[in-house]
């Protein structure tokens, strides 16, 4: 079965510091991978998605970037965090073309 690992679970970072969140998937190859941000336990905002190594699509212009260095690895980064980057970040694997999504445990990021 497929599993998705995301870490760390919580992170407190000062304004202006860099960020690196990592997500890895097991049990599948060539997965479609996604980064979402969720504010205050509400809806999911799609940030980036990737359909293959080195292929990144950005949905929202912002202070963040994403990379796909390996088939089953997806990284969310920032060079300088802003207060507005605080939130709950979720990595997801979506089976096929836009069908069911399987999520990591999430990372609660607080920028102080």
Partner 1 sequence: TQLLEQSPQFLSIQEGENLTVYCNSSSVFSSLQWYRQEPGEGPVLLVTVVTGGEVKKLKRLTFQFGDARKDSSLHITAAQPGDTGLYLCAGAPYSGAGSYQLTFGKGTKLSVIP
Binding residues for partner 1, rule CB under 8 A, total 25
- x/- track of binding to partner 1 for residues 4-43 (CB under 8 A): --x-------------------------x-x-x----xxx
> What is the C-alpha to C-alpha distance for residues 66 and 89, in angstroms, rounded to an integer?
13
| Position 94 contacts partner 1 (CB under 8 A) | yes
- To partner 1, the closest distance from the beta carbon of 80 in angstroms equals 27
Do 79 and 95 meet the contact criterion of CB atoms below 8 Å apart? no
- To partner 1, the closest distance from the beta carbon of 79 in angstroms equals 26
CA nearest 42: which of 101, 87, 9, 92? 87
Residue selected from 79, 105, 110, 112 as contacting partner 1 according to rule CB under 8 A? 105
Nearer to partner 1, 85 or 93 (CB): 93
Q: Tokens in use for 109?
A: 């990021």
| Position 102 contacts partner 1 (CB under 8 A) | yes
Residue selected from 5, 11, 13, 44 as contacting partner 1 according to rule CB under 8 A? 44
> What is the C-alpha to C-alpha distance for residues 60 and 90, in angstroms, rounded to an integer?
15
| Position 100 contacts partner 1 (CB under 8 A) | yes
Do 6 and 107 meet the contact criterion of CB atoms below 8 Å apart? yes
CA nearest 71: which of 111, 105, 110, 23? 23
């Amino acid at each position: 079965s497929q599993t998705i690992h995301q870490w760390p679970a919580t992170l407190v970072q000062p304004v202006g510091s860099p960020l690196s969140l990592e997500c890895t998937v097991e049990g599948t190859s060539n997965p479609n991978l996604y980064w979402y941000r969720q504010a205050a336990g509400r809806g999911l905002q799609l940030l980036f998605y990737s359909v293959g190594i080195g292929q990144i699509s950005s949905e929202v212009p912002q202070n963040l970037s994403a990379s796909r260095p390996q088939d089953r690895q997806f990284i969310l980064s920032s060079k300088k965090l802003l207060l507005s980057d605080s939130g709950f970040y979720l990595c997801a694997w979506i089976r096929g073309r836009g069908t069911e999504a399987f999520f990591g445990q999430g990372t609660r990021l607080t920028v102080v």
